[in-house]
Amino acid sequence: MQVLLAPWWWRAARAAAAAGAALLVVVIAETGLLTEIRDATVAVLFTVLLAFAVTAVITWRQTRWARVIAGPAGEHARPESVVIRKLQLTVAVLLAVAALALFLQSAAVTTADDVNCRIQPTDPRFYAMAKNSGVAAAGVGLCAMDYPVTEKDGTAWIKEANGTYLYWFPVLGADISMPPAMRDAWLRYHDTLGQPVDSDRLDGDATYINFARGYILERPDQPPDVEPGRYQPVAKPEACTDPSRPCITSASQQPDGTIQLTWRYPTRADAFNVSYWVIGQRGTTSYETAAPHFVLPDPVPGVTYGFRVQACQKHFLARSTCTRNSNSVAVTTTR
């Protein structure tokens, strides 16, 4: 009788909680299968459909049992308007399942990107692979093919399944990612270029590495360029022709010592991710801003900073989607 007289939302919540316990087992099983099917959408769709079925069955059984227990009195406990009550329950279940679908979609995509690698190096120099997370260990094709190789000078390298080589240099104390063509070019001109003086960096869709006596720049679908000197990307407003990503139009140090950065992006964005780094130092710092303008308040004197930007759209109960990286720019601070 209590079940029949309880509010409709209480019955729905009770049924959903019971269904959640059963669905937890299904979600765990799907998570384990994601690395095999490699399709998060299929797993999420299966979970959502199963949520409908399990919730409906549990609700029906609870009501049936309550009426059996209540006997003839149970017939009088029916709501005055069965259609409206059923409609309210249906809407509540649909909203709950929609929220669940969004959450599971985000979680499943994240899980699908994290592939369990057969070889997981414990070498701390390759920290990302050792933790099975981060750039060097997440996603199909980024698992280590074998254990690290250490050269006589202390340089170590490891090959990933997609053909990319991950190097660790004692002088930098950092790892550097080299695509096969870039690595071949470096080995061919090693005596001329010398060792890297900075990590691999992006300039739009291109990748570049500065060495002691030159640099290598690799653009998509083109052979690497090997040039003398130092590669320092600069803002080129006239080259802002791609509307699908931000384009940095100016970057400079101001009289007050700050570095100011501006960019264009023709589409509305919920936020911009600004990434900056110091040439010759490991790591990248990210900052989120709402306006197409960024100010670095206290830059270190006498160093060179690099900057790039992404535009992002935020989603309810799901990860943000961001554009490809903008062009990069370099700014050298005064001493």
Check which CATH number belongs to the domain holding 270 and give it.
2.60.40.10
Count of domains forming the chain: 3
Helix 40-70 to helix 82-113 angle, to the nearest 10 degrees?
150
Residue 59 structural domain: 2-113
This prediction has a pTM of 0.64
CB 209 within 8 A of CB 201: yes
The answer to whether 302 touches 269, Cβ cutoff 8 Å, is no
Q: What is the dihedral angle through the alpha carbons of 271, 292, 300, 195, rounded to the nearest 10 degrees?
A: 80
pLDDT per residue as tens, the chain (335 positions): 555 555 656 666 666 666 665 555 555 555 554 444 444 555 555 566 666 666 667 667 766 766 666 666 555 555 555 666 667 677 777 776 676 666 666 555 555 444 556 666 667 777 555 444 334 344 445 677 788 888 888 888 888 888 889 888 888 876 788 999 999 999 999 999 999 999 899 999 999 999 999 999 999 989 999 999 999 999 988 888 899 999 999 999 999 999 999 999 999 999 999 999 998 888 889 999 999 999 999 999 999 999 999 999 988 766 788 999 999 999 999 87
Which SS3 state, helix, strand or coil, does residue 161 take? coil
Domain-terminating residue out of 171, 205, 227: 227
Domain shared by 190 and 273, yes or no: no
The tokens of 40 are what? 């998060």
DSSP state of 199: -
Q: Is residue 213 part of a domain?
A: yes
What is the distance between the alpha carbons of residues 286 and 3, in angstroms, rounded to a whole number? 53
Are residues 248 and 319 located together in one domain of the fold?
yes
Say if residue 132 is in the same domain as residue 85.
no
How crowded is residue 314: how many other Cβ atoms within 10 Å of its Cβ? 12
Tokens at residue 273, please? 């991710």
3-class secondary structure, 196: strand
* CA end-to-end span of the chain: 81
Backbone angles phi, psi at 302, to 5 degrees: 75, 25
> Which tokens hold the place of 93?
């279940």
Given a contact cutoff of 8 angstroms between Cβ atoms, the answer to whether 129 and 144 are in contact is: yes
Q: Kindly report the CA angle at 290 between 287 and 291, in degrees rounded to 5?
A: 105
Note whether residue 9 is domain-resident.
Answer: yes
For CA atoms 299, 300, 303, 306, give the dihedral sign.
negative
